[in-house]
Amino acid sequence: MVKKERMTRGWLSRKTGCNIETIRYYEKADLMPPPHRSEGGHRLYGPPDVRRLMFIRRCRELGFSLEEIRGLLKLVDGGEYSCGEVRDMTLAHADDIHKKVADLRRMERILKKMAAECDGGDVPDCPILDVLSA
Amino acid sequence: MVKKERMTRGWLSRKTGCNIETIRYYEKADLMPPPHRSEGGHRLYGPPDVRRLMFIRRCRELGFSLEEIRGLLKLVDGGEYSCGEVRDMTLAHADDIHKKVADLRRMERILKKMAAECDGGDVPDCPILDVLSA
DNA sequence: TATAAAATCTGTACTTGATACAGGTTCAAG
DNA sequence: CTTGAACCTGTATCAAGTACAGATTTTATA
Protein backbone atom coordinates (compact mmCIF):
# COMPACT_ATOMS: atom_id res chain seq x y z
CA MET A 1 0.00 0.00 0.00
CA VAL A 2 1.33 3.33 -1.05
CA LYS A 3 1.37 6.02 1.57
CA LYS A 4 -0.95 8.69 0.25
CA GLU A 5 0.44 12.05 1.23
CA ARG A 6 -1.68 15.13 0.65
CA MET A 7 0.28 17.66 -1.36
CA THR A 8 -0.75 20.72 0.56
CA ARG A 9 0.96 24.04 1.02
CA GLY A 10 2.89 22.67 3.96
CA TRP A 11 4.06 19.77 1.82
CA LEU A 12 5.23 22.13 -0.92
CA SER A 13 6.97 24.24 1.69
CA ARG A 14 8.84 21.22 3.05
CA LYS A 15 9.69 19.90 -0.42
CA THR A 16 11.18 23.18 -1.56
CA GLY A 17 12.40 24.78 1.64
CA CYS A 18 10.30 27.79 0.80
CA ASN A 19 8.53 29.56 3.65
CA ILE A 20 4.87 28.54 3.74
CA GLU A 21 3.67 32.12 3.69
CA THR A 22 5.89 32.98 0.80
CA ILE A 23 4.10 30.38 -1.33
CA ARG A 24 0.88 32.30 -0.87
CA TYR A 25 2.74 35.50 -1.58
CA TYR A 26 4.14 34.13 -4.86
CA GLU A 27 0.64 33.08 -5.89
CA LYS A 28 -0.63 36.59 -5.28
CA ALA A 29 2.41 37.95 -7.12
CA ASP A 30 1.57 35.85 -10.20
CA LEU A 31 4.68 33.72 -10.01
CA MET A 32 2.90 30.57 -8.96
CA PRO A 33 -0.40 29.61 -10.65
CA PRO A 34 -3.55 29.26 -8.54
CA PRO A 35 -3.53 25.62 -7.46
CA HIS A 36 -6.42 23.20 -7.31
CA ARG A 37 -8.37 23.21 -4.10
CA SER A 38 -9.76 20.48 -1.90
CA GLU A 39 -13.50 20.39 -1.13
CA GLY A 40 -12.81 22.45 1.92
CA GLY A 41 -10.71 25.01 0.03
CA HIS A 42 -7.21 23.85 0.88
CA ARG A 43 -4.55 24.31 -1.79
CA LEU A 44 -3.41 21.13 -3.52
CA TYR A 45 -0.16 21.03 -5.47
CA GLY A 46 1.85 18.56 -7.52
CA PRO A 47 5.39 17.84 -8.69
CA PRO A 48 5.30 20.57 -11.37
CA ASP A 49 4.68 23.11 -8.62
CA VAL A 50 7.76 21.85 -6.78
CA ARG A 51 9.82 22.32 -9.93
CA ARG A 52 8.49 25.79 -10.55
CA LEU A 53 8.94 26.95 -6.99
CA MET A 54 12.49 25.55 -6.89
CA PHE A 55 13.20 27.49 -10.06
CA ILE A 56 11.90 30.70 -8.49
CA ARG A 57 13.90 30.12 -5.32
CA ARG A 58 17.07 29.37 -7.21
CA CYS A 59 16.64 32.51 -9.28
CA ARG A 60 16.15 34.58 -6.13
CA GLU A 61 19.31 33.10 -4.66
CA LEU A 62 21.13 34.06 -7.81
CA GLY A 63 19.94 37.62 -7.42
CA PHE A 64 17.11 37.90 -9.91
CA SER A 65 14.23 40.17 -8.94
CA LEU A 66 10.69 38.85 -8.95
CA GLU A 67 10.09 40.97 -12.02
CA GLU A 68 12.99 39.30 -13.83
CA ILE A 69 11.79 35.89 -12.74
CA ARG A 70 8.35 36.71 -14.07
CA GLY A 71 10.10 37.38 -17.37
CA LEU A 72 11.96 34.08 -17.29
CA LEU A 73 8.78 32.22 -16.37
CA LYS A 74 6.92 33.81 -19.23
CA LEU A 75 9.53 32.35 -21.54
CA VAL A 76 9.00 28.97 -19.90
CA ASP A 77 5.23 29.17 -19.98
CA GLY A 78 5.03 30.53 -23.48
CA GLY A 79 7.03 27.61 -24.83
CA GLU A 80 8.80 29.90 -27.28
CA TYR A 81 11.75 30.68 -25.12
CA SER A 82 14.56 32.45 -26.83
CA CYS A 83 17.71 30.97 -25.41
CA GLY A 84 19.60 34.12 -26.34
CA GLU A 85 17.47 36.32 -24.09
CA VAL A 86 17.92 34.01 -21.17
CA ARG A 87 21.66 33.84 -21.76
CA ASP A 88 21.96 37.61 -21.93
CA MET A 89 20.18 38.06 -18.60
CA THR A 90 22.33 35.36 -17.09
CA LEU A 91 25.59 36.82 -18.30
CA ALA A 92 24.64 40.29 -17.16
CA HIS A 93 24.06 38.90 -13.68
CA ALA A 94 27.32 36.98 -13.76
CA ASP A 95 29.14 40.19 -14.62
CA ASP A 96 27.56 42.10 -11.73
CA ILE A 97 28.52 39.34 -9.37
CA HIS A 98 32.09 39.29 -10.65
CA LYS A 99 32.49 42.98 -9.83
CA LYS A 100 31.02 42.49 -6.38
CA VAL A 101 33.47 39.69 -5.67
CA ALA A 102 36.41 41.92 -6.55
CA ASP A 103 35.23 44.65 -4.18
CA LEU A 104 34.51 42.25 -1.37
CA ARG A 105 37.94 40.68 -1.62
CA ARG A 106 39.49 44.12 -1.44
CA MET A 107 37.41 44.94 1.61
CA GLU A 108 38.29 41.66 3.30
CA ARG A 109 41.99 42.30 2.79
CA ILE A 110 41.71 45.76 4.29
CA LEU A 111 39.73 44.61 7.30
CA LYS A 112 42.30 41.89 7.99
CA LYS A 113 45.08 44.44 7.72
CA MET A 114 43.24 46.73 10.12
CA ALA A 115 42.87 43.91 12.59
CA ALA A 116 46.58 43.17 12.33
CA GLU A 117 47.43 46.82 12.98
CA CYS A 118 45.05 46.83 15.89
CA ASP A 119 46.93 43.96 17.44
CA GLY A 120 49.91 46.28 17.72
CA GLY A 121 48.10 48.33 20.33
CA ASP A 122 47.44 51.64 18.60
CA VAL A 123 44.18 52.69 16.95
CA PRO A 124 44.52 52.30 13.21
CA ASP A 125 43.64 55.16 10.92
CA CYS A 126 41.08 53.30 8.87
CA PRO A 127 41.74 53.34 5.13
CA ILE A 128 38.58 51.46 4.24
CA LEU A 129 36.49 54.52 3.42
CA ASP A 130 39.07 55.66 0.89
CA VAL A 131 39.24 52.32 -0.80
CA LEU A 132 35.53 51.75 -1.20
CA SER A 133 34.49 55.30 -1.88
CA ALA A 134 37.12 55.81 -4.57
CA MET B 1 36.92 84.43 -8.02
CA VAL B 2 36.19 80.82 -7.25
CA LYS B 3 32.79 79.57 -8.19
CA LYS B 4 31.12 78.95 -4.86
CA GLU B 5 28.88 75.94 -5.19
CA ARG B 6 26.49 75.33 -2.35
CA MET B 7 26.91 71.77 -1.12
CA THR B 8 23.27 71.00 -0.61
CA ARG B 9 21.44 67.72 -0.54
CA GLY B 10 21.02 67.87 -4.30
CA TRP B 11 24.76 68.41 -4.70
CA LEU B 12 25.54 65.39 -2.53
CA SER B 13 23.02 63.36 -4.47
CA ARG B 14 24.68 64.28 -7.78
CA LYS B 15 28.19 63.69 -6.41
CA THR B 16 27.39 60.22 -5.13
CA GLY B 17 24.62 59.04 -7.42
CA CYS B 18 22.52 58.44 -4.34
CA ASN B 19 18.84 59.22 -4.54
CA ILE B 20 18.13 62.56 -2.90
CA GLU B 21 15.44 61.15 -0.67
CA THR B 22 17.65 58.30 0.43
CA ILE B 23 20.12 60.80 1.89
CA ARG B 24 17.42 62.02 4.22
CA TYR B 25 16.52 58.42 5.00
CA TYR B 26 20.13 57.55 5.90
CA GLU B 27 20.27 60.54 8.21
CA LYS B 28 17.16 59.34 10.02
CA ALA B 29 18.64 55.83 10.09
CA ASP B 30 21.79 57.14 11.83
CA LEU B 31 24.11 56.26 8.97
CA MET B 32 24.78 59.84 7.94
CA PRO B 33 25.39 62.46 10.64
CA PRO B 34 23.05 65.45 10.89
CA PRO B 35 24.62 68.04 8.61
CA HIS B 36 25.01 71.74 9.19
CA ARG B 37 22.09 73.86 8.11
CA SER B 38 21.80 77.13 6.24
CA GLU B 39 19.99 80.10 7.82
CA GLY B 40 16.82 78.88 6.20
CA GLY B 41 17.26 75.30 7.37
CA HIS B 42 18.67 73.68 4.23
CA ARG B 43 21.20 70.87 4.75
CA LEU B 44 24.82 71.72 3.95
CA TYR B 45 27.38 68.99 3.35
CA GLY B 46 31.06 68.64 2.54
CA PRO B 47 33.57 66.25 0.94
CA PRO B 48 33.66 63.91 3.98
CA ASP B 49 29.94 63.35 3.51
CA VAL B 50 30.57 62.34 -0.10
CA ARG B 51 33.15 59.81 1.07
CA ARG B 52 30.90 58.41 3.72
CA LEU B 53 27.85 58.16 1.49
CA MET B 54 29.85 56.46 -1.27
CA PHE B 55 31.03 53.97 1.29
CA ILE B 56 27.48 53.24 2.39
CA ARG B 57 26.30 52.86 -1.18
CA ARG B 58 29.07 50.46 -2.11
CA CYS B 59 28.43 48.41 1.00
CA ARG B 60 24.77 48.14 0.07
CA GLU B 61 25.72 47.00 -3.41
CA LEU B 62 27.93 44.38 -1.82
CA GLY B 63 24.99 43.05 0.11
CA PHE B 64 25.51 44.48 3.59
CA SER B 65 22.42 45.40 5.55
CA LEU B 66 22.07 48.87 7.03
CA GLU B 67 22.65 47.28 10.42
CA GLU B 68 25.95 45.81 9.27
CA ILE B 69 26.99 49.08 7.71
CA ARG B 70 26.25 50.84 10.97
CA GLY B 71 28.69 48.41 12.55
CA LEU B 72 31.37 49.05 9.95
CA LEU B 73 30.91 52.80 10.31
CA LYS B 74 31.36 52.59 14.06
CA LEU B 75 34.73 50.97 13.45
CA VAL B 76 35.56 53.66 10.94
CA ASP B 77 34.39 56.48 13.18
CA GLY B 78 36.48 55.10 15.99
CA GLY B 79 36.71 56.14 19.57
CA GLU B 80 33.84 53.95 20.71
CA TYR B 81 35.61 50.68 21.21
CA SER B 82 38.71 49.27 22.78
CA CYS B 83 41.38 48.03 20.46
CA GLY B 84 40.49 44.44 21.24
CA GLU B 85 36.83 44.98 20.43
CA VAL B 86 37.71 46.66 17.19
CA ARG B 87 39.92 43.76 16.23
CA ASP B 88 37.22 41.20 17.04
CA MET B 89 34.50 43.05 15.14
CA THR B 90 36.81 43.64 12.24
CA LEU B 91 37.76 40.00 11.97
CA ALA B 92 34.12 38.96 12.28
CA HIS B 93 33.26 41.26 9.39
CA ALA B 94 36.18 39.95 7.39
CA ASP B 95 34.86 36.46 7.96
CA ASP B 96 31.37 37.44 6.82
CA ILE B 97 32.87 38.95 3.73
CA HIS B 98 34.90 35.84 3.06
CA LYS B 99 31.74 33.75 3.09
CA LYS B 100 29.97 36.23 0.84
CA VAL B 101 32.82 36.05 -1.63
CA ALA B 102 32.63 32.27 -1.67
CA ASP B 103 28.87 32.34 -2.29
CA LEU B 104 29.10 34.92 -5.02
CA ARG B 105 31.91 33.10 -6.78
CA ARG B 106 29.84 29.95 -6.76
CA MET B 107 26.88 31.82 -8.25
CA GLU B 108 29.04 33.39 -10.90
CA ARG B 109 30.49 30.04 -11.87
CA ILE B 110 27.03 28.50 -12.18
CA LEU B 111 25.68 31.37 -14.23
CA LYS B 112 28.68 31.32 -16.57
CA LYS B 113 28.47 27.56 -16.98
CA MET B 114 24.80 27.80 -17.80
CA ALA B 115 25.38 30.55 -20.30
CA ALA B 116 28.14 28.52 -21.95
CA GLU B 117 25.78 25.62 -22.51
CA CYS B 118 23.45 27.94 -24.30
CA ASP B 119 24.19 28.52 -27.95
CA GLY B 120 22.19 31.74 -28.05
CA GLY B 121 19.84 30.62 -30.75
CA ASP B 122 16.11 30.06 -30.63
CA VAL B 123 16.49 26.50 -29.45
CA PRO B 124 13.24 25.69 -27.69
CA ASP B 125 15.03 23.73 -24.99
CA CYS B 126 17.05 26.25 -23.05
CA PRO B 127 19.53 24.46 -20.77
CA ILE B 128 19.56 27.35 -18.31
CA LEU B 129 15.93 26.87 -17.45
CA ASP B 130 16.45 23.12 -17.09
CA VAL B 131 19.40 23.59 -14.80
CA LEU B 132 17.63 26.13 -12.63
CA SER B 133 14.52 24.05 -12.12
CA ALA B 134 16.38 20.75 -11.61
C1' DT C 1 14.54 95.20 -6.44
C1' DA C 2 10.63 92.32 -7.49
C1' DT C 3 9.14 88.08 -8.62
C1' DA C 4 9.10 83.73 -10.81
C1' DA C 5 11.19 79.27 -10.81
C1' DA C 6 13.96 75.80 -8.83
C1' DA C 7 15.42 73.52 -4.87
C1' DT C 8 14.68 72.16 -0.39
C1' DC C 9 11.97 71.50 3.86
C1' DT C 10 8.76 68.20 6.72
C1' DG C 11 5.72 64.53 7.06
C1' DT C 12 3.35 60.83 5.27
C1' DA C 13 2.08 57.20 1.80
C1' DC C 14 3.51 53.73 -1.31
C1' DT C 15 6.75 49.94 -3.06
C1' DT C 16 9.06 45.28 -2.94
C1' DG C 17 9.85 40.95 -1.11
C1' DA C 18 8.77 38.86 2.12
C1' DT C 19 7.18 37.24 7.13
C1' DA C 20 3.95 37.12 11.21
C1' DC C 21 -0.26 37.03 13.49
C1' DA C 22 -5.39 36.75 14.53
C1' DG C 23 -9.53 34.45 14.33
C1' DG C 24 -12.02 31.03 11.90
C1' DT C 25 -12.43 26.39 9.08
C1' DT C 26 -10.98 21.80 7.51
C1' DC C 27 -8.69 17.61 7.95
C1' DA C 28 -7.12 13.26 9.91
C1' DA C 29 -5.76 10.44 14.04
C1' DG C 30 -7.30 8.23 17.97
C1' DC D 1 -16.81 12.20 17.50
C1' DT D 2 -13.67 14.89 19.40
C1' DT D 3 -9.56 17.48 19.25
C1' DG D 4 -5.42 19.41 17.71
C1' DA D 5 -2.62 20.24 13.74
C1' DA D 6 -2.73 22.25 9.46
C1' DC D 7 -4.86 25.38 6.65
C1' DC D 8 -7.86 29.44 5.24
C1' DT D 9 -8.26 34.81 4.62
C1' DG D 10 -7.03 39.21 5.69
C1' DT D 11 -4.23 42.43 7.70
C1' DA D 12 0.06 44.14 10.07
C1' DT D 13 4.90 44.40 10.20
C1' DC D 14 9.55 44.61 8.48
C1' DA D 15 13.72 46.57 5.69
C1' DA D 16 15.29 49.64 2.56
C1' DG D 17 14.05 52.74 0.10
C1' DT D 18 11.10 56.02 -3.22
C1' DA D 19 7.46 59.37 -4.17
C1' DC D 20 4.35 62.91 -3.31
C1' DA D 21 1.97 67.10 -1.15
C1' DG D 22 2.12 71.50 0.53
C1' DA D 23 5.06 75.00 2.64
C1' DT D 24 9.43 77.58 2.72
C1' DT D 25 13.98 79.05 1.04
C1' DT D 26 17.13 80.09 -2.39
C1' DT D 27 18.56 81.60 -6.91
C1' DA D 28 18.01 83.49 -11.44
C1' DT D 29 15.93 86.63 -14.42
C1' DA D 30 13.26 90.83 -15.79
Nearest to A92 by CA among B61, B41, B32, B111: B111
**What tens digit of pLDDT does each residue of A64-85 get?**
789 888 877 876 675 555 677 7
Q: What is the pLDDT of residue A120?
A: 47
pLDDT of residue B119: 61
Nearest to A108 among B76, B98, B133 (CB): B98
**Per-residue model confidence (pLDDT) at position B107:** 67
The amino acid that residue A60 corresponds to is: R
CB atoms closer than 10 angstroms to residue B52: 21
Distance from CA of A68 to the nearest CA of B (A): 13
Give the model's pLDDT for residue B75: 75
Question: pLDDT digits over B57-116, tens only?
Answer: 988 877 788 988 898 788 777 655 556 666 676 677 777 778 777 776 776 777 677 777
Going by pLDDT thresholds of 50, 70 and 90, the confidence category of residue A124 is: very low
Choose among B51, B93, B107: nearest Cβ to A133.
B51
- pLDDT class of A116 with cuts at 50, 70, 90: confident
Q: pTM of the prediction?
A: 0.75
Q: How many CA atoms lie within 13 A of A125 on its CB side?
A: 1
User: Is the confidence at residue B123, as pLDDT, over 60?
Assistant: no
pLDDT of residue B21: 96
Touching check for B52 and chain A: CB below 8 Å? yes
CB A12 within 8 A of CB A4: no
SS3 B114: helix
Protein-covered nucleotides of chain C (CB closer than 7 Å) are 7-11, 16-21, 25-28
Contact A32, A62 (CB under 8 A): no
The whole-angstrom separation of Cα A129 and Cα A86 is 37
The pLDDT of residue B3: 58
Instruction: Please state the φ and ψ torsions of residue A130, each to the nearest 5 degrees.
Output: -60, -45
